[in-house]
Structure 1
Amino acid sequence: MLTVVSGYWNISKSKYSSDDYKKWMTKTLRINCPYVFFGNKDTIEYVKKIRYDLPTYYIELEFEDLYCYKYRNNILEMIPHVPSRDVNIIWNEKVFLIHKAKQINPFSSEYFMWIDAGIYLYRNIEPSKNIYPNPLKISNIPKNKFLFCSSDRPYFEKHKVHGNHYYHYISGNFMIHIDLIDDFCKIYKEYIDLYLSHMNWINTDQKILTHIYNDYPDLFYKISDGYGTIITYFK
């Protein structure tokens, strides 16, 4: 039914400390759903201890081998929005990692959802032990749309998309049907290559996805409003 895709690399400068992430992941990675998890050898070994009894397929991938890494020198820092260029690389890699997970599809899933390894929803409260997601809610969603929850505001402000506004409508947790992943990833790659080729701080994954939404609104379907609410919607 659904595979959650996630990943973690212990980069030198992140939004929070590695100790914070390791503490949070003891709860945040306990969602009872099949996972495809990306990381290097060390981070994967750590996550295996957390998800020891949950269905998980691990893919070892060095940080330097991420597609967006080639744009590292173009990414500027701007606290708090972009705490480091390496964080932004990981953020912008999410769609590509979903594409890699889909190519293997170890759990024969129909949908793929990105959930951050340290998702704030479960940093203090462990997720339910019930199987995720609710099959009744999955059965009623479109298969030909990029499924998302809004981030900053529940409505789209087209006039803020271009220019130097750090405005984003699409949040960083999303879901996509297997039949749409290839086509969406192709479009996403075009936008990554366009925007990350310029030296700037503003082009996070949420900003890139908002550009795509602006140009292809019919490709998107809003599930809910508020960062991370797409996760709780399918409980």
Structure 2
Amino acid sequence: MSRHRLLQRYLRPGLSAAVIVLLLYFILRDDASRFASPDQSALLTRNRTYPRSPITVVTAYYYLPSRHAYSEYLAWMDNFLNHIPCHLYIFTHHTMLDIIVSKRRSFLRDRTRFIVRELEELEEYSNMTVYQKLRDNENRDTAHSAENYVIWNQKWRFVLEAMEENVFQSEYFLWVDIGSFRDRSLLYPQRSFPSIDSVQSLAPKDKLTLLLVYPFVANASDWWEDITADHVGAGIAGGYPHAWRQWIEKYYETQRVLLTRGVNAGKEQNVMNAVARRYPETVHLVTPQPYFGDRWFYLQYYFA
């Protein structure tokens, strides 16, 4: 969104002088940050040469309202970005670029592809009105922001873009939420994440690998039943390009159907549950086994 449109959007009659100054500061600061430093420009260029890796990991971070404190996310980001030496695509906006670059400092030059794009420039932002309505219909105590829905449903578009560009010439792609590595004491055994040996031995060619955190109820008669409870984990997903593309097609198709049924299809876990029920042939569901970590993050261990 242009600086002029941002000013029109946020500056309203009746705002105090202090609020206006703060708004102008943040808007103009973000606009000025588009002019990256020489070091950042080198990191952002499309023309860099990257080494080949059989696996590409994709993640993103946008500074948005969240149930978790910003300080928590900074710690989780550091666990992931500064300690997991994977070949990584990171999507973010200019506001966060300096922080993310600093946390990825150990693997900047040859293992990280940065793509900077503002929230308003994302494809899913065109659904903001729909997501705002979903948010307004939620319980106020448990509701997420419409901006969260934008990012959650943009995740698979980020994967598509990484597969299309494929600077690491990879054959397998993993989505990993940037806040997935939460326990620093477990980082050492996870530094091999993701392992090509694990992928080759465990991942099917024609299905997307997902975590089934809790099983579906056995007596549900229709695919849209029991899809708003905790079942499929949304933090990590992996597949070969064909598996990703077929699943993503079913994902957005199913999201459209759910919206007509009044289901909260802004929350990506609901849609993922529905796809697993509606199109089981597209997914390989992994059940967590006893291990040293949280069951929600079992795929870190599975793919390490």
Same fold (TM over 0.5): yes
* 2:121 matches 1:58: no
Given residue 117 of structure 1, which amino acid in structure 2 is its aligned partner?
I
Which amino acid is the alignment partner of residue 232 of structure 1? Y
* Bigger mean CA deviation after superposition, 15-24 or 105-114: 15-24
User: Which residue of structure 2 lines up, in the alignment, with residue 150 of structure 1?
Assistant: 212
Match of 1:71 among 106, 116, 127: 127
Residue identity opposite 2:224 in structure 1: H
2:224 to 144, 147, 162: 162
Q: Which residue of 1 aligns with 2:79?
A: 27
Q: What amino acid is aligned across from residue 275 of structure 2 in structure 1?
A: I
* Greater RCO (CA < 8 Å, at least 6 residues apart): 1
Of the three residues 166, 176, 179, the one matched with 1:118 is 179
Match of 1:49 in 2: 102
5 Å matches for 1:192-207? Answer: 192-196=255-259, 201=264, 203-207=266-270
| Structure showing the higher helix proportion among its residues | 2
What secondary structure sits across from 1:71 in the alignment? helix
Corresponding position of 1:218: 281
Larger displacement relative to structure 2 (42-51 or 180-189): 180-189
Aligned residue in 2 for 1:37: 90
**In terms of mean alpha carbon deviation, does 73-82 or 136-145 score higher?**
73-82
Cα distance in 2, alignment partners of residues 9 and 158 from structure 1: 39
C-alpha separation in 1, matches of 2:59 and 2:194 = 16
Aligned to 2:58: 5
Kept after mapping to 1: 8 A contact 2:258/2:264:
no
Identical amino acids, percent of aligned pairs: 21
* Residue aligned with 1:26, SS: helix
The structure-2 alpha-carbon separation of the partners of 1:216 and 1:80, relative to structure 1 and needing over 3 Å to count, comes to: farther
Is residue 2:238 matched to residue 1:175? yes
What is the one-letter code of the residue matched to 2:59?
S
Displacement of 1:60 in angstroms is 1.0
C-alpha deviation, 1:47, in angstroms = 1.0
Q: Is the 8 A contact 1:161 1:168 kept in 2?
A: no
Amino acid across the alignment from 2:206: N
Displacement of 1:183 in angstroms is 2.6
Deviates most, 154-163 or 37-46: 154-163
Q: Structure 2 vs 1, CA of residues 118 and 177 (structure 1 numbering), >3 Å: closer, same or farther?
A: same
Residue 230 of structure 1 pairs with residue 286 of structure 2? no
Please say if 1:15 is aligned against 2:84: no
Distance 1:162 1:138 in 2: 31
- Greater CA deviation, 98-107 or 164-173? 164-173
- Per residue, is there more strand in 1 or in 2? 1
- Structure 2: any 5+ residue segments left out of the alignment? 1-53, 289-294
CA radius of gyration, larger in: 2
Q: Of 190, 194, 198, which aligns to 1:137?
A: 198
Residues of 1 paired with 2:226 and 2:241: CA distance? 34
Q: 1:164 to 1:110 in 2, by over 3 A?
A: closer
Amino acid at match of 2:182: Y
**Given that residues 246 and 282 in structure 2 are in contact (C-alpha distance below 8 angstroms), is that contact kept between their aligned partners in structure 1?**
no
Q: Where does residue 92 of structure 1 map in the other structure?
A: 153
CA gap 1:8/1:197 in 2 versus in 1, 3 angstroms: farther
Report the CA distance between 1:88 and its aligned residue: 2.2
Q: Give the number of equivalent residue pairs.
A: 232
- The amino acid that maps onto 2:283 is F
How far apart, CA to CA, are the structure 1 residues paired with 2:303 and 2:241? 17
CA distance in 1, matches of 2:150, 2:98: 22
Alignment TM-score, normalising by the size of structure 2: 0.68
